[in-house]
Amino acid sequence: MRVGNCVRCAANGPVDRHHIKMRMEGGGDEDENLEDRCVPCHQYIHATPAIKEFLEHERRHGQADRIVVAQLRFDRHEEYNSVEQIRLRGTYKSYWEDEVTHFLPLIEPTPEIKEWRRLNRNKRQRENRAFDKKMAKAAKEKKC
Ligand SMILES: [Zn+2]
Ligand SMILES: [Zn+2]
């Protein structure tokens, strides 16, 4: 086990060797591409791209309620894993531990959404009836 100082929070102790440019992106094992990170700061840096990507994705699609949640997840991720918080807690903390970030805010359905639901309810009912008929017919044929 390697012992050293974390490049992010400066904690002295067991450290992981983090690849600055990931191996799958062609990063090598040379010293210039490696940095020592304590385990929480290592988890933090690996968790960040997906959370950022989700936020950028939602921003591009411009759906307001989803942007709010994506932003909240990103903010919690940063807050929970600031250098100060990691020093205090000594562990990585996921935004999932905040239950607010799990849910999209409820939006009042628009007339279009209501109409879409009504049409789909009718369509489902038709499909169910057709299915029942088919099953009844199959059962009859088996008996003969
Ligand atoms: Zn650290
Ligand atoms: Zn790493």
Examine the domain organization and report whether 44 and 101 are in the same domain.
yes
**What is the domain extent for residue 142?**
109-144
Ligand with the closest atom to the CA of 11: 1
Q: Residue 116 has which token pair?
A: 């879409």
- Considering its fold, how many domains does the chain have in total? 2
| Same-domain status, 120 and 99 | no
- Which pLDDT score is estimated for 26? 94
Ligand 1 centroid–CA 58 distance in Å is 30
pLDDT of residue 102: 61
Same domain, 98 and 116: no
Ligand 2 mean position to 46 CA, how many Å? 6
Do both 71 and 132 map to the same domain? no
**Residues 50, 120 within the same domain:** no
> Do 51 and 61 belong to one domain?
yes
Cα(46) to centroid of ligand 1, in Å? 13
Per-residue model confidence (pLDDT) at position 40: 96
pLDDT for residue 103: 59
Q: Domain check: are 25 and 89 in the same one? A: yes
Same domain, 66 and 47: yes
Q: Look at residue 104 in the predicted model and tell me its pLDDT.
A: 55
d(CA 8, CA 36): 9
**Closest ligand to residue 35's CA:** 2
- The predicted pLDDT at position 4 comes to 96
Report the alpha-carbon distance of residue 91 to residue 85 in Å, rounded.
9
Per-position pLDDT tens, the chain of length 144: 899 999 999 999 999 999 999 998 999 999 999 999 999 999 999 999 999 999 999 899 888 878 888 898 999 999 999 999 999 999 999 988 876 666 555 556 677 767 877 887 888 788 888 888 888 888 888 765
Alpha carbon distances (Å) from 89 to 18, 77, 99? 21, 14, 20
Based on the fold, state whether residues 75 and 122 are members of the same structural domain. Answer: no
Q: Are residues 76 and 135 in the same domain?
A: no
Q: Are residues 97 and 122 in the same domain?
A: no
Looking at the structure, tell me whether residues 83 and 99 fall in a common domain: yes
So what's the pLDDT on residue 144?
56
Q: Can you give the pTM of this predicted structure?
A: 0.68
